[in-house]
């Protein structure tokens, strides 16, 4: 039985003070009493250290939104996986569609980041997803398979990895893939992973759904056999809304 995982991706939102306020509200609700699913929050880089200290007592897993593929060097504005590990991060989100779309993160770059993060002891949430044009063109399957295969190239062990399926057309738009649409892609991802790593590894892999997940649709999505939780954007910026999704995973 796979343990569900729900992670709030705060993106470029909240000052450090606002991040601490939100983290406090979520930590008070999660505490050390939620064992039916893993819960993570991903504040901005600026807030990671302070939020990490604040949630140390809780079961919440500190998560970063990105990292570089080198340990150090002349990479102005970047943060390395080793720095994230040192500040207490447990997970890092890699390959998010916004990184691919706006910052040039190709699957080859994402792959380098995945390998570096795993090397530094971080768990990885590898994001994959198709655009509206790709879905309407009927190439969703090939696009997602390609992102999975390329993102995992040379990765020997996926036991510390989660895949998040985020249809680009559903992120922040209010549109959500139906539970059947999401399940179809999740099942395809699991089949791809089975071809790469064997059925046992695929059966243990957790695959999240992301894309306008709310308390009102989370339970239906999470009830699908291959959907193991959610990577939550806008709804994670409100403690009550986020916790409604967490409860739907239990």
- Which of 134, 166, 183, 186 does the annotation list as catalytic? 166
CB 88 within 8 A of CB 72: no
Cα–Cα distance for residue pair 229/12, rounded to 1 Å = 22
- Rounded Cα–Cα distance for residues 126 and 199 (Å): 19
Per the annotation, the verdict on 96 as an active-site residue is yes
- Given the residues 96, 98, 134, 186, select the one marked as catalytic: 96
The answer for residues whose C-beta is within 8 angstroms of residue 28's C-beta and 6 or more apart is none
The answer for residues whose C-beta is within 8 angstroms of residue 228's C-beta and 6 or more apart is 2, 3, 4, 5, 162, 206, 207, 208, 222
| Structure tokens given for 175 | 């549109």
**Annotation marks residue 186 as catalytic:** no
Residue 200 CA to residue 158 CA, distance in Å, equals 11
- Catalytic center residues: 96, 166
């Amino acid at each position: 039985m796979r343990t569900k995982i729900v992670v709030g991706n705060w993106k470029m939102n909240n000052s450090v003070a606002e991040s601490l306020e939100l983290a406090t509200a979520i930590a008070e609700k999660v505490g050390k009493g939620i064992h039916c699913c893993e819960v993570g929050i991903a504040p901005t880089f600026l807030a990671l250290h302070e939020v990490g200290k604040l949630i140390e007592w809780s079961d919440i897993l500190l998560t970063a939104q990105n990292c570089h593929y080198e340990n150090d060097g002349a990479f102005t504005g970047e943060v390395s996986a080793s720095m994230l590990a040192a500040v207490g991060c447990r997970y890092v989100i890699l390959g998010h569609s916004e990184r691919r779309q706006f910052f040039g993160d190709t699957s080859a770059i994402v792959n380098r980041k995945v390998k570096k993060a795993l090397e530094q002891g971080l768990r990885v949430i590898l994001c994959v997803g198709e655009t509206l044009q790709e879905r309407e063109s009927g190439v969703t399957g090939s696009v997602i398979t390609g992102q999975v295969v390329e993102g995992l190239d040379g990765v020997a062990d996926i036991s510390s990895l989660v895949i998040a399926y985020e249809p680009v057309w559903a992120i922040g738009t209010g549109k959500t893939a139906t539970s059947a649409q999401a399940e179809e892609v999740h099942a395809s991802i699991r089949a791809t992973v089975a071809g790469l790593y064997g059925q046992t590894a695929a059966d243990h892999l957790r695959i999240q759904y992301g894309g306008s997940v709310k308390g009102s649709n989370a339970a239906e999505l999470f009830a699908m056999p291959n959907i193991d939780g959610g990577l939550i954007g806008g709804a994670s910026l409100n403690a009550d809304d986020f916790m409604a999704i967490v409860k739907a995973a239990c």
